Amino acid sequence: MTLSEKVRIANSCDRIPLVIEWFVGRSRSAEKDLHEAETLASEGHHGEELLEFSFRRIYGEMGEKQQAILKVLSLIGTQLPVEAVAAGAGLPVHEVADELEELRDYSLIETQYNLNYKDVVHFLLPVTSSFIYREVARIPGYEVAVRRRLNDWYQAKEIVDPTQRVVVQQVRRGERNPELALAEVAKNSLASGDLDTAEQFYKLALERNQTNWQIHRDFAEFYRHYRHETAMAIQHYRNAAEHAPKQGPDRARVLREYGMVLRDSGLPNAYRLASEQLELALGETPKDAICRHALGDCHVKLGSFQRAVEVLEPLLEHPASKTREKTYPLLLECYDSLGEMLKAAEMRQRINR
């Protein structure tokens, strides 16, 4: 728009900031906006009257879902996460999330990050809330129904297990770290053999915090050992490795398990991918026999026999007999391939004892 066109729109909105925000928020083309601005100016409304008139025009153009969302926020009168808004409106969370984005673009709702919920919360400006509440008051029983749905949600009545219900209640009230509490519910469900609930709550935990490496690691283990879904295990191990501490035993363990899953994945380049992760893990914890053996195995499969020997020979003095016995055949293959006849003969003697 030209400066003069912008001035025309501002003047038609009586230069009231909120009216201008509402007008511009729903704009789709300059030509249509200028036409609507002329129509708005011809109505002759000013001040509070114009504010309410503008809101009612916008409100009347909304669909039922958007109106329901605004009604919930007006009724409760406090900041709400998207799940609470969805519960109050009786709508799926993903649909409410999409509608909230559009309503924010229209400058009808405000958002901010809430430390208790560890999530974005949504609320209305007082003037918007008062307009919407008048609409709610005209519908018999509407407020009671919304408050009942929200009460059931805060009470977590859909959760059967009483212990888990308490945890979910605390999360929904913002009383506990959300992702850790939801992960705790997932672990409890897993312990009781309820895999579907465990999977659901792991997903909810990660929706709260996609960068929590511990939850990604636990979810990877879930897919690896309980669902036997290697692709999903690899995905979550990859995320865990990305967000894990930059050094130390925690990082080493994540990389070790990630490498072992890759090794057994059946991918065309499985051993190369696995060896990359296992090399990093061994660099952090050189005394990790499990990692050392897995890395040696990968190098044998890759034909990197000299590197395999370097990795595996320290295990010959390992105190655990099973570890030593698993290492002998790998080293024998290396020695045979490298032409180390004396070492190969010695290894055969060890195997045949």
pLDDT of the residue at 175 = 84
Question: Span 218-242, mean pLDDT?
Answer: 97
Nearest to 305 by CA among 318, 315, 296, 293: 296
The whole model's pTM is what? 0.68
Residue with tokens 């900031």: 17
pLDDT of the residue at 16 = 64
Record the tokens describing residue 204, joined without a space: 């909810």
231 has pLDDT over 80: yes
Cα distance between residue 144 and residue 116, in whole Å: 27
Do 210-352 and 64-154 have the same topology in CATH?
no
Amino acid at 128: T
The answer regarding whether domain 210-352 maps to CATH 3.50.50.60 reads no
pLDDT of the residue at 24 = 64
Give the side-chain half-sphere CA count within 13 A for 86.
Answer: 13
Sorting pLDDT into bands at 50, 70 and 90, what band is 64?
very high
Average model confidence (pLDDT) for the chain? 88
pLDDT of the residue at 275 = 98
Give the side-chain half-sphere CA count within 13 A for 292.
Answer: 20
Contact 106, 84 (CB under 8 A): no
pLDDT tens-digit series, residues 326-342:
999 999 999 999 999 99
At 62, give phi and psi (nearest 5°).
-80, 155
Q: Which of the two residues, 107 and 67, has the higher pLDDT score?
A: 67
Q: Where are the domains of the chain?
A: 3-61, 64-154, 210-352
Cα distance between residue 319 and residue 64, in whole Å: 70
Sorting pLDDT into bands at 50, 70 and 90, what band is 45?
low
pLDDT of the residue at 160 = 85
43-to-4, 39, 50 alpha-carbon distances in Å: 21, 7, 9
pLDDT tens-digit series, residues 5-38:
677 666 666 666 666 666 666 666 666 666 566 6
192 has pLDDT over 80: yes
What CATH number was assigned to the domain covering residues 64-154?
Answer: 1.10.10.10
Question: Span 209-237, mean pLDDT?
Answer: 96
Residue with tokens 């808004």: 85
pLDDT tens-digit series, residues 143-182:
999 999 999 999 999 988 888 889 889 888 888 888 888 9
Nearest to 244 by CA among 256, 227, 262, 229: 256
